[in-house]
Structures are given as C-alpha cells and as structure tokens.
Structure 1
Amino acid sequence: MQVIDPSIFKAYDIRGVAGENLTADVVEKIGRVLGSMAVESGVGPVCVGRDGRLSGPELKGALIRGIAAAGADVYDIGMVPTPVLYFATKYFGSGSGVSVTGSHNPSRDNGLKLMLGGKTLFGPMIQDIRRRVESEEWSIASKPGKVEVKDAETPYFETVTRDIHLERPVSVLLDSGNGVTGPLAMRLYRAAGCKVEGLFTEVDGHFPNHHPDPSKPKNLEQLIERLKSSDAEVGLAFDGDGDRLGVVSRKGEIIYPDRQMMLFAADILEKKPGSRIIYDVKCTRKLVDWVKSHGGIPTISCTGHSFVKAKLAETNAPFAGEMSGHIFFNDGRWPGFDDGLYAGLRMVEILSRTDDPTALLSSLPTAVNTPELQVPMAEGENKKFVERLQKEVHFDDATDEIRIDGLRVEWPDGFALARASNTTPVLVIRLEGDTPEALKRIEQVFGAALKKLDPSIKLPFSAE
C-alpha cells in the first residue's frame, strides 16, 4: 500500500501543498490511475493544461508521464485557464481532461480538476482514485500513449468572440490578480468589442499584488480603488484559474454572484420561459423570488462547482450558478461548463444594452446579509456537528428547513444556513434578513440553536 496523505483527495478535486503532500511522485501515480481509467472506459485522449503557479510545469509533466505510462494518449494544451481545458475536452471530442491548478488557494498549493468521458469527477469518484493509488491498481502499457501538443486557446478564442454581440462598446477594467487569465482576457475582451484596461494581468505565480480570489472583498479593494480614476463602466475580476467571476460597479459596489445571476437568469428566461434556474444553498432568497417573477423555476443545489455541474446535467437546465462565483451557461450558446471569462462577457453583453450599467447593477434586489462566516473546528468535527444539526434542530416558526447540504432555515423575511465545508475543517454560516431588524432576530434565534447544540461554539456573529 502506498502511503499518501488522504487529505489531498477533496470533495471536488485533488488539492494539496506542492512539494509536500502533493509531490511529482504522487501526481504521476494519480496519472497512472487516470490513464488506466481512460483506457478501461475508452475515453481518451486526455487533455492536460495548467495554471500559472510555479509548481505547475513539474506537476503537469509528472501527470502526463503517468497518464501516458498507462497507455492513454495525451493532448498537452499548455498554460491556459481551466475553462480552456474544459473547452478542449469538448472541442477534441473525448470529454476527458485534467487542469493542474490550485484555483484560489495560496500560491504554494496546487491540485487537479478532473473530467473523464464528459463527467466531472467528484465525491466518491475522487475517493475511488485514492483507493486505486494506494493499492497501486493501475496498468503499465507495453507501449505508452502518445503525447501531442495541441492549441486549444485559438479555437476557444474564436468560439467565444463569435458568440458575444455587444450593442455598443463597453469600457471594462479587468483584474486577473496575476493569475493565468490575464493575457487571454485582455485579448478576448478587446476582440469582443470592449474598451479594456488591465490590472495585474501579468501571470506571476507568487501573486504579488493580491490573492486571486474575487469572492473575498479584500481582494477587490484595488479594483474598486482603480475604478475611481478609470473611465471603465464596470470592473471584472477572475480567480487564479479563471473559472470564477467577480463584478464591481463603477461606484465600487460589489455585485455578488447571486445578484449577478439575476441578470443572467432574466436574460435566459426571456428566451427560454419556464426553464429551471439552479442556485446553491448559499444564495440570497431574493434570487428565488426574482426567478419566479421572471417565469422560471428556482432549483436549489448543494454547494460546490462539481455538485452544481452534476445538477445541471441531471436537469438539463439552461443556467446555474453558485455563490462562490462559478457560473454555468447551458443555453445552446455555451456548453454548460463554468467559465469566468465567458460569464464576464455575457455580463458585458447585457450591460451594453443600457447607457447606465451602474444604475442597472444597483437596481438588483438585495437584502441585509452576512458574508460567508466560518467557525474553525477539528478535522471531521464540522461534518459531525452538521449531522447533529440536521437531526436534532427544528424551528417551529420556519417556512422551510432544507437539509440537502447542511441546514438552511427559511423564514418569511430571511434565512440562516450552516453547512460543513468540503475543503477545510470549518463550519460555514450565512445569514440574511430583509431588514437589519430581521437579520438581528435571525442571528439570535439561529445562534441560540447552535449554542444549545454545542455551548462551547464560538459564533462569528452576535447572538445577543
């Protein structure tokens, strides 16, 4: 049995600290298992790309060696955003690929996002890879698979620019946070008809300016400040590998993904009335009301891009999104994978229909809510706590209690959510009220329930 740190096998992907628990040796062995699975399923070649992290070249090389050793062919598409890797799996027809990326994690981290035969691997499938690596359940072919360098960026570029149609040029400020998206984003948005200004668009795996994670307000501070002196009508930010989008209005208001989804949903429902719109458990209640008022069917999903993607495949809905910024278009114009660059252009396309994008963005319904709050716990304790919460806690005055992913309690004027993170040992909490008074009441009621379950819990909000 191989001794490998089991913690690198996450719910959505494989991720760890490069050179420590995610070494080239470990990645090569994972590659052998993936290559064996591709051969067994007949779903090669496997496309492989990487983001701009310093450990990327070594780990990508090890992964390719492992896949090829098992007899599977490999298409090496180079350093590209993760959405270009997803595009390549469709463009080259195999549906199989791996993005070597640490996504929005610290610069020393890296990981693997996996697809095989058109399906994203997550949950039990990731654990099966772990089992096979540990037991060395792989094949070594007498003749290794072929490794070919392929250009996926050019057909991706051409496909996106053919699809996007602006009614007028829109001035945009792009913040890539020194992630892999910078050079491509600048070219792509200019070709689509935007006036473009860039911020931190040089690829630098040290991430010297700010961390490339637009879900955290502190990482948008420089974008907000630059907008004050810029002619840009909107600011767009991307995460380290380009599959998530952040949006900031000209006046510095952060338009969180659940509000972005309102504009996308309205646009899609105008053309596809009665369609399902998928959202994750962390999204605002205002989105649910919005989708209903625009003739759609709001459909809730577990959090996590892999779970949302699976829900999208199950329902064949034309659109899905989650609070972290993964946005999925499946409306015939785009083939259903999460792409921050493309989502940003769809946002710009909508904004090009108005002379005042700031007013349109500010008009989207909002509520009084907390950011994503976290309660650190010992490894595994967050999941045990949530299991107890789901079984033992009930609210007599609630209109609904949703238990698909933690516990989300709905009231007529707000909601409370507690769920176990699938990537770190924390309890994730989000609270919302239609008014400050409603939020305060929900904090007190929900906080008291959490305290009753565990009197020692340190709440990241006031429950007084």
Structure 2
Amino acid sequence: MQTSEHIFKSYDIRGLVDGELSNELAERVGRAVVAYTGAKTVVVGHDMRLTSPAFARAVVEGVTRAGVGVVEIGLCSTPLFNFAVTQYEGHDAGIMVTASHNPKEYNGFKMTRHDGLPIGKGMGMEEIRNLVISGAFADADEVGSISSLEVKDAYLDRVFEVADMPNVKNLTVVVDASNGMNGMLVEDFFARLDCAWHGLYLEPDGVFPNHEANPLKEEALVDARAKMREVGADIGIVYDGDGDRVGFLDETGAYVRGDLICALLAKDLLARHPGGTIFCDLRSTQATFDAIKAAGGVAKITEVGHAFVKRHMMEEGGVFGAELSSHFFFTEFANAEVTELVVLLVLKKLAQEGKPFSELLAPFRTYATSEETNFKVENREATIARIEANYAPQAHRRIDIDGVTFYFEGWWFNLRPSNTEPIVRLTLEAEDESVMKEKMKEITTLIGGKRV
C-alpha cells in the first residue's frame, strides 16, 4: 500500500478520499493506535461524510484483529466522541473518522487517549505514521469484542450540570449547524431551555449542500445573518462540520472572535475556579488577558493549535482554554472542546445581563487588531530572522514560541511560520488604529512576500 506522508498532520490524519485514503489505511490506523497506546478498549465513532461509515468499519476491523475490544458510538460530533473516550472508565483510546471542516472531498482520523490528550505532532503522530506505513502487524490469537454505546443524553446532562442548570429566557437564537454533526443535538439542547430558537441546516449531510462547514469563512455566515434579521435574533450560532468549533454573531450580525468570548466569560469561569489559569493562543487580543487578570485569574499564552492548548492545560492545571478559531476547552471535560457548553454559558450570560450582545462585548473591543495575514515567501526561516533582527532591539518583551512575538509601547505583533507551506503568518494589534495600520504596512514591506 502506497501512503502519502503528508496526510499525517499536526493534529490528525487527513487527506483526499480519492487517492490518499482507503479502507486498508483505515484498518492500519486502528491497528497502529492499539500498538502505540497499548489500549485494551478503543472507542470508534464517525461523522456524516459519505465515506465515514465504511472507514469506521475498517478501523473497527483493525482494532479487533489486534485482539482489542471496540465500543462503537456511531454518528457523533467531536465533543461527543471526546466525552465517550474520556468520561467512561475502561475506555483507553478513541478514533473518530472525520475531516472536521474540510470540504466533502476529504476525510481523516482523529485519535485521542483516555486522558484527553490527542495524538498529534510531537505527541505520537510520528510513531503512528511509522506504524501505518510499515504495515507490520500480526493478528491476535483472539479477535476483540464489539459493543455499542449511546452517549448523547449523558453528554447533555453533564453539560447542563456544569453550567449550573441555567435559566435562559427572553432570548431569540438562530443556530446554523452547517449540515454537520452538532445538528443532531440542537433540538434536544433547546428542549431544555425556555427561549425561542430558529434552526438552519440541522440535518447532517456529508456533501454540505448549503455552505462550507467552517464558521471562519464569511460565506458560512450569510444565511445565519439573514435569518437573524428576519426574526430579530439576539445571537447567532454557527457550528463547523465535526462540532469542535462554534462561531458567534452578535445581534448586529458582527462575527465574535473566540478570544472575545473568552474575555466575556472569564469572570464567570473564574468565579467557579478562583485564581485559576486560563490559556489563550498567542494571537488573542490583549483585552482578553486583561479581562482574565481583572477577574483574579492567571492568563497564559500557548502556541496555535488545539493539541497544544490541551497539553498545557493538562500539564499546568488550566481551568479553561480558548483559541482565536473558536475552539473552547474545559477542565471538567478532560480539557476537550465542548461547544454546547460554551454556547450555554454565553446564552446564560445574555439572559442574566439583559443587555445586547454587542454591548456586553464592547469593553473587550478596545484594541485595533489585524486579522491573521498570510504571506507566501521564498524562505520562512530567513524571513522571520530578518524581521527579528529589525525589531528585537526595540522590543520591551519577546516570546519565542510559535515563531516570535514582540511587545512594544502601545502595540505588539506575532510572526509565525506555516508547518507545511512556504508561508508566514502575521498578527498585529495596537491601542490605536492608525498605529496598527502604520505598523502593518511597515512589517508587510519588510516581509516582502505576496499576500495569500
């Protein structure tokens, strides 16, 4: 079997269904996870993509031929999958067939341990890759058993328990499930609340007939915004394909970044965990770190990527984590993403405060922040070194994780390399918009690459 090494990504295995993935590869993934983790029981689930059921069956075949038991949970979102792996004793590892928010031509495999730590770059992916490519597996003397488990109700029970059974009234909500996996939970979720809601594209559909299942894309927000205007909604919610990310829209239809959601919830989260540590990726606005500190918490920066946030939370005892891309992580769920819980906490906040969403966010929209901008360059390392040599002497502070971050009086920037492409990514923030624009122009000229 020919295997393309580039399908082994930083956080998962992912590739084109036509030519890069196969049932044989899926079976090897099952065997490799058993060999690497030493698991005795493996949870297997899958999303709604057309090839996912067949790939899931092949994963089950690989795991059971290795002599290990399988717990099948069937169709699931990533939060449901993580719940099944981490919250049940005896579930040693898990494999979910999904390509997250990627277009329909893709599929892949997420792998995680019972402690919630995903198998990713520097955390076992290299070993998994070598095992899959070698294909040197022996069948066990006895085939592993197969059982099934329904976790939806237990998951929602726990979500509402952690949110302290919120009384959410007098809100109108629009929720767009993007034909992804969270659609299967929306009706049961809102049945527990006393608010008006309007659903879009709740039926899981692996061809994504309405729009790409990625709330970071403007085109994925168009229909939710239109519905919000039609019904006079207080808030819009847009999920991605596998349900590990959720995008929010305020009552005006403006997109709310993940770091601002963290800032909004910091006080409530830290009331439950006084003095706790909250992790945010290094692209986050300074307003979020200010909000965490003002609420009595400890704010820490992480590399970009959900696997890194989870590892920091596990190793350093974090109570919550957030990424700009709207991954949200909770210590109560083994540091995994729980999109229904962050939605519930935001709705609870809106109901309690009785103010427009945009008004609650206004204190955190105080800095002029660029979106992360990509530049195609000839040499990533040389480009970063050139920028570093120019700005290091002027900086008050620097952080050398995920590229380089420099802090100055009234502004800061991060420049980081792509893991796989000749691209560098620039994020810049300033206290004043004119300074932000001036510094963006200045650094863009020094980078010299083409915006992509």
Classify the TM-score, shorter chain. over 0.9
Shift of 1:298: 1.2
Counterpart residue number, 2:84: 88
Shift of 1:336: 2.1
State the distance in 1 between where 2:189 and 2:383 align: 43
Shift of 1:424: 5.6
Counterpart residue number, 2:155: 156
Contact 1:49 1:98 in 2 (8 A): yes
State the distance in 2 between where 1:45 and 1:106 align: 31
SS in 2 for 1:430: strand
- Which AA in structure 1 matches 2:417? A
SS in 2 for 1:308: helix
State the distance in 1 between where 2:77 and 2:133 align: 30
Contact 1:49 1:79 in 2 (8 A): yes
Counterpart residue number, 1:415: 412
Contact 1:190 1:196 in 2 (8 A): no
The root-mean-square deviation of aligned C-alpha atoms, in Å, is 2.1
Greater shift, 257-266 or 150-159, is seen at: 150-159
Identical amino acids, percent of aligned pairs: 28
- Which AA in structure 1 matches 2:81? L
Where do 1:63-462 residues align within 5 Å?
63-93=59-89, 94-118=91-115, 119-124=117-122, 125-164=124-163, 165-169=165-169, 170-330=171-331, 332=332, 334-358=333-357, 359-376=359-376, 382=380, 384-385=381-382, 388=385, 392=389, 394-422=391-419, 426-451=423-448, 457-459=449-451
Shift of 1:19: 3.0
Shift of 1:275: 1.9
Contact 1:367 1:435 in 2 (8 A): yes
Kindly tell me: are residues 88 and 117 of structure 1, through their superposed partners in 2, closer, same or farther at Cα, counting changes over 3 Å? closer
CA deviation map 1:99-133 (0-9, x unaligned) = 21111111111111111242321113111111112
Shift of 1:216: 2.5
Contact 2:86 2:114 in 1 (8 A): no
- Which AA in structure 1 matches 2:299? P
Shift of 1:389: 5.5
Shift of 1:219: 1.7
State the distance in 1 between where 2:426 and 2:208 align: 28
Q: Number of residue pairs matched?
A: 446
Kindly tell me: are residues 236 and 309 of structure 1, through their superposed partners in 2, closer, same or farther at Cα, counting changes over 3 Å? same
Counterpart residue number, 2:27: 28
CA deviation map 1:126-166 (0-9, x unaligned) = 11111112222433212111111211222212222344322
TM-score, with structure 2 as normaliser: 0.93
Residue 57 (structure 1) aligned with residue 53 (structure 2): yes
- Which AA in structure 2 matches 1:60? A
- Which AA in structure 2 matches 1:371? E
SS in 1 for 2:260: helix
Shift of 1:390: 8.1
State the distance in 1 between where 2:120 and 2:416 align: 18
CA deviation map 1:229-265 (0-9, x unaligned) = 1143111111100111111011112111010010221
- Which AA in structure 2 matches 1:435? D
State the distance in 2 between where 1:449 and 1:65 align: 53
- Which AA in structure 1 matches 2:431? D
Contact 1:35 1:71 in 2 (8 A): no
Contact 2:168 2:347 in 1 (8 A): no
> Gapped runs of 5+ residues in structure 1?
452-456
Shift of 1:372: 2.4
State the distance in 1 between where 2:21 and 2:66 align: 20
Kindly tell me: are residues 176 and 400 of structure 1, through their superposed partners in 2, closer, same or farther at Cα, counting changes over 3 Å? same
